Chain A
C-alpha cells in the first residue's frame, strides 16, 4: 500500500472541491437547512410533548447524527460517481492504484466532505437553539464513529453496484439512505415499528446508535451494550461490503464494465 497513491486520489477530489465555490456552498447548504428545520421542529416538540420535554435537543441531535451518516454515505458515492461523470473512470483503473487504496482514499475524502458540511451546521445549533452536541459527552465520539463506519459501508455497497452494473445503478445510489431511514428509528423508539419491521431494524446498527443517543440525552445513562452491538454489526457489514467491492471489481473485469463505464 502506498500513501502517494492514496494521497493522489484524495488530491483529485480536494482540487475539485476547493476550485468551486458552488460545490463548497452545496456541501454546507443542505446540512444547515436540515439542522435549522429540525431545530424548530425540535423546539415545538419539546414544548408540546411529555416524552421530549426533559431533553430539548433529542430530535435535533438525532437529526445531526443522521445527517452525518447521510453525508458520509452520499459523499462516498459522489466521489465514485464523479469519476464516471467526468469519464475519468478508465484512467483511474489503468493507474497502479490498488482497490484497498481506492477505498481508503475515498473513505478519508468522504469524511472531509461530510465535515465541511456538518461543522457549520453544528455551530449553528448552539446560538440558534441553545443545544450542544457535546451534551453526549465522550460517547458522542463512539456514536459518530459508528455512524461514519456505517455510512462508508453503505457507500462501499452502492459503489460495488456501480462497478458491477455501471451508471444505471446511479438511482440506487441516491435512494439507499431513504430506504433504510424508516428502519433506523432515527426520530422514534423501535417499539413504534410493527413486529416484522422491528426484526429487520435490529439487523441494522442504526437502531442501537439512535436508541443510545436518546438514552443518553433522556435518561442520562449509558448502555454500552448498544454501542458494542452497533460496532459489531458495523464490523460485519464493513467486511461484507469490502469483500463485495473486490468481487464486483473482478466481475466488472469479466463483464467489461470497466471499459464501457467510462465512455
Chain B
C-alpha cells in the first residue's frame, strides 16, 4: 500500500520551547493511525503542521507525494479535519454551511455530494435548521459532513467523539469504519478514548513531551508492555516512573 502521509524528522519550537521534537511516521492508504498522548504532548501541534496551519521549525511533511510547504493549497484540497474545538458558522443553516464549504473546496456537483452525505449521516431533518441551535451530537454529524464534502483522501480527527453520548459516539465510529472501507481513505485519529482507538486503529503512535515514545498495533503494544488494555499501556508510558 502507498504511503499517503510521510512525516520526516518533524519539529516545532515556540521560542525556546520545543513542542514537537523530530518525529517520524507514515500513514498508508486505507489505514487509520491513532495518535495518543497526554494533554500538551504535541498532538495538536503535529496536526496543525499536517494541516498547514503551523510552519514546522524543521523536518518535512509529504501528503500524497507532495511537500506541504510548497503545495499547501493542492494538499488542502485533498484533506480535511474535524475537532470539537472548532465550529461551523452558527447563524447559517446546515445546508448553507455545506454549500459554502462545497464552494470553498470547489466540489463539482455540490447538490449530489450534499445529498449523499445527508443520507449517509442521517441529516435529512437538520438540513434547514440553524447550525448553532443543534445538539452536540447533531453538530458533530454536520461537522463530519463538512469534513467529507471534498471527498478527502486523508482525514485528520481530533477527539471526534469527545462530549458525545455513547449512542452518537458509536454511530460516528461505525460510520468512520464503513466509510474508510468504502472509500479507502487514510485517517489520523487523536483521541483520549482508548476503546475507540483499539476498535478503529491499525496502529498507534504514543507521544509524550513532543516525542513518539512507542508505536505499533494496539494488541502488540498491550502484549509488549504486559498490560490488559491500551489504557493501561497509555498510563504506563505517559506517567513518570515515580508515579507508577
Contact = CB atoms under 8 A, between A and B. Distances in A.
Interface in A4-22: 4-5, 7-9, 11-12, 15-16, 19-20
Nearest to A88: B89
Nearest to B99: A11
A87 B51 contact: no
Contacts of A8: 100-104
B99 A96 contact: no
Contacts of B14: 255-256
A94 B80 contact: yes
B89 A16 contact: yes
Contacts of A259: 44-45, 48, 53-54
Contact of A5 (B55, B79, B89, B106): B106
B244 interface: no
Given A253-B54, A254-B55, A259-B53, A96 B86 contact: no
A95 B54 contact: no
A94 B103 contact: no
B88 interface: yes
A262 B92 CA distance: 18
Given A253-B54, A254-B55, A95 B101 contact: yes
A263 B85 CA distance: 6
B122 to A, nearest CB: 22
A226 B86 CA distance: 48
- Residue from B44, B51, B53, B83 whose CB has the most chain A CB atoms within 10 Å: B53
Interface residues of A, number: 35
A91 B73 contact: no
Contact of B89 (A86, A250, A253, A254): A86
Contact of A256 (B54, B87, B93, B101): B54
B92 A253 contact: no
Contact of B87 (A4, A5, A7, A87): A87
Contacts of A63: none
A228 interface: no
B3 interface: no
Interface string B56-70: 000000000000000
Contacts of A88: 86-89
B30 to A, nearest CB: 22
A12 B104 CA distance: 10
Interface of A is mostly: helix
Contact of A86 (B45, B48, B90): B90
Contacts of B104: 4-5, 8-9, 92, 95-97
Contacts of B96: 11, 15, 19
Contact of A91 (B48, B86, B102): B86
Contact of A96 (B54, B93, B105): B105
Nearest to B75: A96
A44 interface: no
Contact of B73 (A11, A96, A258): A96
A174 interface: no
A103 to B, nearest CB: 15
A176 interface: no
A241 B31 CA distance: 44
A4 B48 contact: no
B162 interface: no
A65 B88 CA distance: 36
A2 to B, nearest CB: 6
A90 interface: yes
Contacts of A90: 53, 81, 83, 86
A199 interface: no
Interface string A221-261: 00000000000000000000000000000100111101100
Interface string B101-129: 11111100000000000000000000000
15 contacts: A4-B103, A4-B106, A12-B92, A86-B90, A87-B85, A87-B87, A88-B89, A89-B86, A90-B81, A94-B53, A94-B80, A94-B81, A255-B14, A259-B54, A263-B85
Interface of B: 14, 44-45, 48, 51-55, 73-74, 76-77, 79-81, 83, 85-93, 96, 99-106, 146
Q: Which 5 A-B pairs have the closest CB atoms?
A: A8-B103, A96-B76, A8-B104, A253-B55, A95-B104
